[in-house]
Structures are given as structure tokens and as C-alpha cells.
Amino acid sequence: MRIAIVGAGGVGGVFGGLLARAGHDVSFVARGANLEAIRAQGLRVHGPWGTFVVRPGVAEEPAGLARGSPFDAVLVCVKAGQVREVAAALRPLVGEGTVVVPLQNGVEAAEALSAELGAGRVAGGLCHVFAWREGPGEVRTTGTPLQITLGELKGPVTPRLTRLAEAIRGSGAGAVLADDVVAAAWEKFLFIDPFGSVGAVTRAPIGVMRSEPRTRALLVAAVEEVDALARARGVALAADAVARTLARYDELPAEATASMQRDVAAGRPSELHEQTGAVVRLGEAAGANVPVHRFLYAALLPQEAAARRAGSG
């Protein structure tokens, strides 16, 4: 397959690297030092298998990749807050048979891409992976989990997604075809948003959050708010979604933290607006009461604003 990976961080680097190693025609959109490193020495991927290097095509802007035959798939792997910014720029990559798949933590990316590219071009997607960029042109994963879930936003799974899933499986990663990818995305959001939001405010790892009774109660309330919001929006979450989410927290290593929490702690721009803020925003639109998220969002806004000012400077 001919596949474009937009964003060469941990997620894009690992999945794109695996697909390139498997023989697919993979090209990346990257920026700055990361772009220059991939151009000069390829992309280095570390994992349980050891280390391998691939030398994919790479460009600073999507238009720079729009040569030759159309892309079969475009995997959008930028941070959730960057999706709207890059959506219009993806047009040169999208041909008649191209499918665009977002792989963000939030639940609004597919809608944002559809508004720019047309709903028929966009499918739903999410990934489960522990991956990060170690330096320019270098990414690492623990290898567990290592999976992408795909599904059409409306209707049954189509051959275009079956083909992409087969390519992902053939690369050494897992691929699941979901009949209801929207529910799958919200189930992941049910896990990742409270984990990151409560973690960012408490500055504590999951072992502390789940064992301190009052903090655990805050975490539980945040999970219940996301569950209620999803149902208010008509999302068909499983009846035991909250219980399974809390059980997953209890199974995590005590020192585990969420990516948003780590960004906030380091003073970097985070996905606050796309996680905590999204619950507040979508809650207001759906008439769902989300007081815990309103508090968490208000508490984190000043530092997020400072991080973004510093980043823009």
C-alpha cells in the first residue's frame, strides 16, 4: 500500500516504521530537526524486537508528498490540538480511493477531518500503544500494547479498511475492525481523559490516585461524567464500561502517568483543550452536567496558557 503518515512522533514513527519495514510505500510529514534527521539518516525505531532503520520519503508539508500515484491511506498522527490546523493541508494527499484515519486520544478528530475533506474520505480510528520520540529521527515503543482499531463512521466495515488492517497486521502490529468505532473511541477516551486530567491536577502517578480514597473518588467521578456524556450523545457504550475502566486503572503499574499529565508537569503545551476541555464543551452542548471536569479544566487553564505562550515564543 501507499501510505502517508502525518506526524512522525511516537505513534506515527512506530506504526509508520513498521509498515515501511514490511515493504509498504510509506512517506512522512515531519518538521524541524525531526525532518532533517529522517532525511539524513532515516527513521530509527526501537522496540522489543531490537532496533531497525527505514528510509522513507519525508516532507515538511503534505503537498510535498503529493507526487506519483494517489495514497491508499493517510494516518493522521499529530496531537489532537493540531488536527484542525492540518486538515485542509491534507487535500493534496487525498484521491478517489484514499481513506484518512485519525489516531488521536480525543473524540473530535474524525469530525474535524470530515468537515474539511468530506465524510466519505474519513474513517474512525484509535490506537493503543506506549510510544515516544527519543530524539530527532528516533522513536521507541515497549511493544505492548501495539494495536490500531479501525471502523467506518457510518455503516459496516468496507474493503478499504480490511486491506489497511491486513497491512497493519502484516507489519507486526495488531489491527481490529470495529463495527462501532465511535463507541470504541469513547471507551478509550473514558480511560485516557480522567487519567490525564486528574493526574495533571494532582501531579501524582496512578498508584497514588487509586489508593488515596478522596483522590480515587475524584477519579471515579470523572470517569462517570465521561460515561454519562457519551450516553447523552447517543454513544452505545457497554453497560460495564465504567467498571472495566476502573479495573484497568487498578492493573496499571503504580508509577504510570498519562501523556497529558507529563506534558503539563514539564510545562509543555498539552491536549488539555481536546481532553478535559472537550468534556466541558461537549457537555454544555449535550446538556450534560460535568462539574468535576469544569473544576479540573479551570484549575489547569492558567498553566496551559503559559505553556502555549512559551511555546509560541
Whether residues 160 and 31 fall in one domain: yes
Whether residues 82 and 200 fall in one domain: no
- Measured CA distances, 142 to 59, 108, 182, 279 (Å): 27, 27, 27, 30
pLDDT digits (tens, 9 = 90+) for 6-53: 999 999 999 999 999 999 999 999 999 999 999 999 999 999 999 999
When pLDDT is averaged across residues 232-256 and rounded to a whole number, the result is 97
As beta bridge partners, residue 76 has 6, 102
Question: Kind and range of the H or E element at 243?
Answer: helix 241-251
pLDDT band at 281 (very low <50, low <70, confident <90, very high): very high
pLDDT band at 58 (very low <50, low <70, confident <90, very high): very high
- What CATH number did the domain enclosing 289 receive? 1.10.1040.10
Which single residue is written with the C-alpha cell 471507551?
Answer: 187
Distance CA 49, CA 45 (A): 10
Residue 312: its pLDDT value, please? 67
Q: How many CA atoms lie within 13 A of 141 on its CB side?
A: 27
Burial (CB count within 10 angstroms: exposed 0-12, middle 13-18, buried 19+), residue 256: middle
Q: Residue 176's closest CA among 191, 195, 157?
A: 157
Residue-range definition of the domain harbouring residue 131: 2-178
Backbone angles phi, psi at 57, to 5 degrees: -70, 150
> Does residue 69 surpass a pLDDT of 90?
no
Whether residues 169 and 221 fall in one domain: no
Number of domains comprising the chain: 2
pLDDT digits (tens, 9 = 90+) for 75-131: 999 999 999 999 999 999 999 999 999 999 899 999 999 999 998 999 999 999 999
Q: What is the DSSP code (8-state) at residue 135?
A: E
End of a domain among 155, 178, 201? 178
pLDDT band at 70 (very low <50, low <70, confident <90, very high): confident
Distance CA 237, CA 243 (A): 12
Whether residues 67 and 163 fall in one domain: yes
pLDDT band at 68 (very low <50, low <70, confident <90, very high): confident
Whether residues 102 and 237 fall in one domain: no
Neighbours of 27 (CB within 10 A): 25
Residue 313: its pLDDT value, please? 53
pLDDT band at 180 (very low <50, low <70, confident <90, very high): very high
Residue 221: its pLDDT value, please? 98
Determine the angle formed by the axes of helices 276-286 and 213-232, rounding to 10 degrees. Answer: 50
Residue 305: its pLDDT value, please? 96
pLDDT digits (tens, 9 = 90+) for 125-177: 999 999 999 999 999 999 989 999 999 999 999 999 999 999 999 999 999 99
Mean pLDDT of the chain: 96
- What CATH number did the domain enclosing 59 receive? 3.40.50.720
Whether residues 110 and 188 fall in one domain: no
End of a domain among 145, 178, 211? 178
Q: Which three cell numbers stand for residue 154?
A: 457510518
Which single residue is written with the C-alpha cell 515503543?
Answer: 141
Q: Residue 2 carries which side chain, given as an amino acid letter?
A: R
Residue 294: its pLDDT value, please? 98
How many helices and strands in the chain, by DSSP H and E? 12, 10
Residue 6: its pLDDT value, please? 98
- The alpha-helical segments, DSSP class H, found in the chain are 10-21, 32-41, 83-87, 109-117, 159-170, 181-202, 206-211, 213-232, 241-251, 259-265, 276-286, 291-312
> Does residue 226 surpass a pLDDT of 60?
yes
Whether residues 257 and 306 fall in one domain: yes
Whether residues 20 and 75 fall in one domain: yes
Distance CA 66, CA 86 (A): 15
pLDDT digits (tens, 9 = 90+) for 200-224: 999 999 999 999 999 999 999 999 9
Whether residues 17 and 138 fall in one domain: yes
- Measured CA distances, 146 to 11, 55, 129, 139, 206 (Å): 10, 22, 5, 14, 21
Q: Residue 160's closest CA among 233, 235, 242, 101?
A: 101
**Radius of gyration over every alpha carbon of the chain, rounded to an integer in angstroms:** 19
Whether residues 73 and 190 fall in one domain: no
End of a domain among 146, 178, 210? 178
Q: Which three cell numbers stand for residue 214?
A: 478522596
| Percent of the chain scoring above 70 in pLDDT | 99
State the DSSP string of 124-177. EEEEEEEEEEEETTEEEEEEEEEEEEEE-SSSS--HHHHHHHHHHHHTTSEEEE
> Does residue 259 surpass a pLDDT of 60?
yes
Whether residues 266 and 187 fall in one domain: yes
